């Protein structure tokens, strides 16, 4: 392992700092959200179709357009733009209330806080580069489940300050630009070989945390620095003081300065369902996980 100084450290959240079973979490999320809108008189099938279309749209190429704007443009095209304010209010209510219950009782990983605190003590800026498909309230809840303070992170990627998602190179480029760093100056820490290690294509070094390892592309783990969160803490303790800490200049909401712009509407540029294999896998997995969670609930109540 290289004992070198970086200008910043980027962290994934789910499965890295937060020990989360992603299948169970996404299934519970999908099920809770569909149930929430159904209880308020909306057709859950129509809602799910619009939600999936919005997810596909966020995962497509839409430079200069935030994931938030991309999602809502496509979602409201399906559900009716005349109800935009009502839909915003309804989903805000869900993320403020029911979403928080999905992870209630989830045990945090105590070493995660120590990792971040140790980096801070050495002068390293830290960013939370979690998949930016959620609003900030959903990410705050997940940090809360892990006993992690949002104030520890100079930047938290959410759907209204990001214009791409993992594993697109544009996602990592955007965050490097937010800190004014070259790829080799920032360490990416994550647990997903496909989503997080995509940063290596740009020349970013990476550390793969293996406690909740996800390896959907059969990546050779031995070719990258890797270990448990305890191993990573030991690695962090060997790092020298940060020689030239970066500083995040990006706004909390909106596009990172310097991002490429597009003139076409989101609806015109968004991928159609089934065009993007990665996104199709993700949505199908979310639906299957929701079905599994529903089945478990039914069995438990039988």
Angstrom distance (rounded) from CA 45 to CA 48: 5
> Per CATH, is 8-18+110-238 categorized as 3.10.560.10?
no
Alpha helices, DSSP H only, in the chain? 22-39, 44-59, 67-79, 84-96, 98-102, 110-121, 136-145, 169-179, 229-238, 266-269, 277-301
Is pLDDT of 81 > 90? no
Task: Output the six-digit token pair for 214.
Answer: 């996800």
Helical ranges in 239-276 per DSSP H: 266-269
Span 4-42, pLDDT tens digits: 789 999 999 999 999 988 888 989 999 999 999 999 999
| Closest of 10, 13, 20 to residue 207, by C-alpha | 10
**Predicted local confidence at residue 259, as pLDDT:** 60
User: And the tokens for 66?
Assistant: 């935030």
Helix (H) or strand (E) holding 155: strand 155-156
pLDDT digit string, tens, across residues 115-149: 999 999 999 999 999 999 999 999 999 999 999 99
pLDDT at 298 > cutoff 70: no
Residues of the chain with CATH 3.40.50.1000: 8-18+110-238
Q: What is the pLDDT of residue 260?
A: 56
């Amino acid at each position: 392992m290289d004992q070198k100084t970086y200008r910043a450290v980027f962290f994934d959240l789910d499965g890295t700092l937060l020990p989360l079973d992603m299948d169970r979490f996404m299934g519970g999320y999908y099920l809770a959200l569909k149930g929430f809108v159904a209880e308020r008189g909306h057709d859950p099938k129509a809602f799910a179709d619009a939600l999936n279309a919005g997810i596909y749209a966020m995962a497509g190429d839409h430079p200069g357009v935030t994931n938030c704007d991309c999602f809502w443009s496509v979602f409201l095209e399906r559900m009716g733009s005349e109800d935009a304010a009502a839909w915003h209010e309804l989903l805000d209510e869900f993320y403020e209330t029911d979403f928080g219950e999905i992870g209630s009782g989830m045990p945090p990983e105590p070493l995660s806080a120590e990792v971040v605190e140790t980096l801070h003590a050495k002068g390293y800026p830290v960013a939370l580069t979690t998949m930016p498909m959620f609003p900030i309230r959903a990410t705050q809840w997940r940090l809360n489940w892990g006993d992690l303070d949002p104030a520890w992170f100079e930047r938290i990627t959410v759907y209204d300050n990001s214009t791409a998602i993992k594993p697109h190179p544009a996602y990592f480029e955007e965050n490097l630009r937010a800190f004014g760093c070259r790829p080799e100056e920032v360490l990416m820490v994550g647990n997903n070989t496909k989503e997080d290690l995509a940063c290596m294509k740009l020349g970013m070094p990476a550390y793969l945390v293996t406690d909740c390892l996800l390896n959907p592309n059969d990546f050779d783990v031995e070719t990258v620095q890797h270990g448990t969160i305890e191993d990573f803490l030991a690695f962090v303790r060997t790092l020298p003081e940060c020689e030239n800490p970066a500083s995040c200049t990006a706004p909390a909401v909106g596009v990172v300065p310097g991002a490429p712009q597009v003139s076409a509407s989101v609806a015109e540029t968004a991928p159609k369902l089934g065009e993007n294999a990665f996104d199709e896998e993700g949505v199908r997995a979310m639906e299957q996980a929701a079905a599994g969670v529903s089945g478990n609930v039914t069995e438990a109540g039988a």
